[in-house]
Structure 1
Amino acid sequence: MPLPLSPPSQAIADVLAALDGFPLLQGPRVRLRGPREDDDAALFALFGDARVMRYWSRPPMQSIDEAREQIARIQADMAERRLINWAIADENDALVGTCTLFRFDPTHRRVELGYALHPDHWGRGLAREAASLALDWAVDVAGFHRIDAGIDPDNLASRALLHRLGFLTEGVQRESFFVGERVTDSELLGLLASDWRRQREAAAAAAR
């Protein structure tokens, strides 16, 4: 018989179980919402782009059917509370990227963060805004203690973004995933809830 969860861990499990669909998170320029069937073309444009997939753990999509299948999987995974894979939507509610919380571990109060943004929107701070919304929800609403992230060590832009968010590089997992016959390392980064709160406080003070 499994041991009962501690009160904070049970609270995380209860938050996840009580979700009525995807949490809707609104920022100044982007919103995080659940993906819809009519996002298929935009999702294919995102994950079919070799620039986006250069450091991904799978090759680019080859057809819009793959995007439709992924939307169905995202919705099924959400229903089972395996992950929350939001669409990053712009001011016109068009999908321009994705932001994901996955590998939920209520027992140890950990979760992992992932994201992707279409190249047409790189360099505008939108990925940082989207990730910040997800981190706020993970820390303030769900109550996670630690957020993990893993990147290809050659992905300098993603490392810079994560470091700006307060993540620290904690190590490298050697030859941890294949894309076709190419094997790559994985750089492991971590952010504590206390780190994120200090990061927000510093940003708010700097903005005054």
Structure 2
Amino acid sequence: MCSAPAPSAPSAVPMPWPAVLTTARLVLRPVARADVPAVTRLWTDPEVRRHLGGPVAESVVRIRQRRCVGACGVFAVARADDGLITGLVTLGWDARRGETEVSYQFLPEHWGQGYAREAVAAAVDWARGGSPTVIAVTQEANTRSRRLLEAVGLEHVESFVEWDAHQVLYRTAG
């Protein structure tokens, strides 16, 4: 099991971990040691990180590399047919206001193929088994991410400024 939710969020239930989720084309599974180079690219690619504060500093990348393998709620997204890593989807059970938060990053060569939508939808569906709502935050300027969140059933509920950028918060309906 993942770590227990914060006392302020008694309705959030951590889901059993490790978990493997499958879709028509993808497998979402815990990060393995062999995935670390692809995951590192996600943290250091300027295009991937354009709306995420820029590439992660090398010292932070080294720490993340040690911690990401098997980390609770961190799914490597692999194509089912060949195992190629396309991205990362993360669920945090003690996010803003104690709600479950989904975040994601995909390698640019896999953009526009529906992988992110498919993976995020699977993760949100799975997370809702233990949490009444799932949230996501993205920069207002990240129109692709906003469309993805709306396509998987999240609704824009709040706008605010954080990290010197306009942000939007989305939440599952009902």
Q: What TM-score do the two structures reach when normalised by structure 1?
A: 0.70
Give how far 1:94 is off.
2.4
TM superposition shift of 1:56: 0.5
Aligned to 1:72: 66
Q: 1:24 to 1:60 in 2, by over 3 A?
A: same
Aligned pair count reads 166
Alignment partners' CA distance in 2, 1:147 and 1:52: 23
Deviation at 1:168, TM superposition (A): 1.3
Provide the residue aligned with 2:83 in structure 1. 93
For 2:42, the equivalent position in structure 1 comes to 46
Whether the aligned pair in 1 keeps the contact of 2:30 and 2:71 (CA below 8 Å) is no
**Do 2:46 and 2:55's aligned partners in 1 also have CA atoms closer than 8 Å?**
yes
Once the two structures are superposed, the pairs formed by residues 7-156 of structure 1 within 5 Å of their partners are 9=11, 12-13=13-14, 16=15, 19=16, 21-57=17-53, 59-61=54-56, 67=61, 69-75=63-69, 78=72, 84-90=73-79, 91-104=81-94, 110-140=99-129, 142=130, 144-156=131-143
1:38 to 1:76, Cα distance in 2 relative to 1, 3 A:
closer
In the alignment, what sits opposite 1:187? 168
Once residues 49 and 30 of structure 1 are traced to their aligned partners in structure 2, the CA distance between those partners, rounded to angstroms, is 22
Give the TM-score taking structure 2 as reference length: 0.82
What are the ranges of 5 or more consecutive residues in structure 1 without an aligned counterpart?
79-83, 178-182, 195-208
User: Match of 1:116, as an amino acid?
Assistant: Q
Query: What root-mean-square deviation, in Å, do the aligned CA atoms of Structure 1 and Structure 2 show?
Result: 2.6
Shift of residue 85, structure 1, vs aligned partner: 1.1
Q: Aligned in 2, Cα 1:56/1:126: closer, same or farther, shift over 3 Å?
A: same
Aligned to 2:48, the other structure's residue is in SS state: helix
The one-letter amino acid paired with 1:156 is T
Alpha-carbon distance in 1 for matches of 2:69, 2:40: 16
Matched to 1:96, the amino acid is T
Give the % identical residues. Answer: 25
Give the gaps of 5 or more residues in structure 2. Answer: 1-6
Q: Which is further off, 67-76 or 161-170?
A: 67-76
SS in 1 for 2:128: helix
Offset, 1:77:
5.0
